[in-house]
A = this chain, B = another copy of it.
Amino acid sequence: MPDKPDPTDAIPPPTRFPRPAVGRFSLYYRELYRLLDQGQSHINSKQLGSIVNVSPAVVRRDLSNLGTIGRRGVGYQIDQLIDQIGGVLGSGQQWQVVLVGVGSLGDALLRYRGFERLGFRLVAAFDLDNQKVNQTIGGVSILNAETMVGKLAELSPDLAIIAVPAEVALDVANELVAAGISGILNFAPTTLRLPPGIAVVNVDLASELQRLAFSVQNL
């Protein structure tokens, strides 16, 4: 993995990838990293497809969209693939992330060890609860949410994670947007209606169970 690159040196935005492919790139990246850690150097499209449950043809198409072609009998070089996919996903960059809302889910997110290696660094958390303010969880300081606007101006993070109750999520999101944040990962079970130019990814835990129940009914 390269050192933190100069932001002016960033690769041009690869707008040509459809959303399902982005989801697959993220899976390829995770699994290739694991294989590299285990000492594997090459992989072919059949093996990679079998690991992430897609066909070899889909793997070959996705990777050829990156400009990468496997060598017959040898396959793809794993470290090269990781660099290329990481470039597409922005993982070669360092992203500064703040978390708002240190309830039980926020607490779990602060302790989660999977963000750092993908280039996401939690730089601060905010909560209104005096019991939590000035504590540190997972190495991240919890700051008073009443001071959030000023702290955001100081830290100028790239992304924010919202883990507050649904009723206040939109107000929090608007404060974050006003502070210049352009990407929000929203765990509050509510639809955030934000100005254009703000990226939002929603994760609704109950909706995921609903999707699962739907799949089970349709097996």
A residues contacting B by CB (< 8 A) are 10-11, 13-15, 22-23, 26-27, 29-31, 34, 50-53, 88-91, 93, 95, 97, 103-105, 107-109, 111-112, 114-115, 118-120, 158-159, 161, 182-185, 189-191, 193, 197, 199-201, 203-219
User: How far does the alpha carbon of A190 sit from the alpha carbon of B23 in the complex, in Å?
Assistant: 14
Chain B residues lying within 8 Å of A159, measured Cβ to Cβ, are: 209, 212-213, 216
- Report copies per complex: 2
- Which single member of B193, B211, B214, B217 contacts A10 (CB below 8 Å)? B217
Contact assessment for A185 and B207 in the assembled complex, using a CB-CB cutoff below 8 Å: no
- Chain B residues within an 8 Å CB radius of A27: 191, 207
Q: Is the CB of A216 within 8 A of B97?
A: no
In the assembled complex, the CB of A43 is this many whole angstroms from the nearest CB of chain B, namely 14
User: What are 14 sample pairs from A and B whose C-beta atoms fall under 8 A apart?
Assistant: A15-B218, A22-B214, A26-B210, A27-B207, A29-B210, A30-B189, A30-B190, A95-B213, A105-B112, A108-B108, A109-B205, A118-B210, A183-B213, A203-B205
Candidates B120, B189, B197; contact of A114 at CB < 8 Å: B189
- CB <8 Å contact, B15 and A206: no
User: With A13-B218, A115-B209, A191-B53 in contact, do A204 and B30 touch (Cβ < 8 Å)?
Assistant: yes
